[in-house]
Amino acid sequence: MKTILAIILGITSLFGFCSKKSVNPVTGKEQYVSLTPQQEISLGLKSVDQMGKMYGGIEKNSESDIKIDQVGEKIIKNSIANKSPYKFEFNVLKDNKTINAFALPGGQVFITQALLKKLKTDAQIAGVLGHEIAHVIERHSAQQMAKASLTSGVVQAISIGTFDANKSQYAGDLARIVAGLTTMKYGRKDETESDMLGLSLMSEAGYNPNSMKEVMRILEEESKKGINLEFFSTHPNPTHRITDIDNQIKKIYPNGVPSNLEK
């Protein structure tokens, strides 16, 4: 009976996951997502205030706020991002100690003062914002939610299928560890996708994509100082990303990066 129940739960979870298949309207990729674009937008908007509280509040009409709005809107207006259904908004978090940037579903993009102060040029800001805009366009949050629903079902199935009266706790722990490793694997893939699309977005908007490598080097230097780099908790190490970024730039511009792009 245990085995039969585990199989049923596993099949039900897998079927539910596969039924969420759709085509991304911007990238054309087939994806498994659990939310509509409108639901993503609503979820992101409802989460803005909470994100602000976690990072000391959100700046309004400051010089920094105006700057990221200008850079962010330039990227949206002049790249394929303008074909997405999302309403992008760019927020500066007052936290001047935690180096971080992230995006919520639906187009809410955040950058901390701590990170913004380390960026010296508009092109470097564009590199960070382009990466986060790419997360939204790629629908990574919606994908993770769909995967989480699958994972939770699989965890339950594994726990039941491996149940032992004396060792049930260990079986459940093992299932959760497996699920966590799967999520981490997907996360790294998502980050690479966002790096690649982000480079295209900033380039289309007139920013030199080599500036993204400069951002990686800035983050690398800060990590050596023991600075609070929350960015590292959700993004791969900058050192490992520079080579991939360089290769992607060569694909975009096989004859070299045009000299008229803003550095």
Domain boundaries, the chain: 2-252
User: What pTM, to 2 d.p., does this model score?
Assistant: 0.75
Half-sphere exposure of residue 142: CA atoms within 13 angstroms, side-chain side: 28
H or E stretch covering 115: helix 113-116
Specify burial of residue 67 (Cβ count, 10 A radius: 0-12, 13-18, 19+).
middle
pLDDT score for 89? 96
pLDDT score for 208? 97
pLDDT score for 225? 73
Distances (CA, A) of 60 to 28, 67, 70, 204: 36, 11, 14, 28
| Distance from C-alpha of 151 to C-alpha of 19, rounded to nearest angstrom | 15
pLDDT, averaged in runs of 10, over the chain (263 residues): 42 44 77 78 83 91 95 97 94 93 90 95 97 92 66 41 44 43 54 90 97 91 67 61 89 93 94
> What's the token pair of residue 251?
């694909």
Beta bridge partners of 32: 21
Specify burial of residue 2 (Cβ count, 10 A radius: 0-12, 13-18, 19+).
exposed
Distances (CA, A) of 73 to 26, 54, 208, 209: 18, 25, 17, 17
Q: How many CB atoms lie within 10 A of CB 142?
A: 25
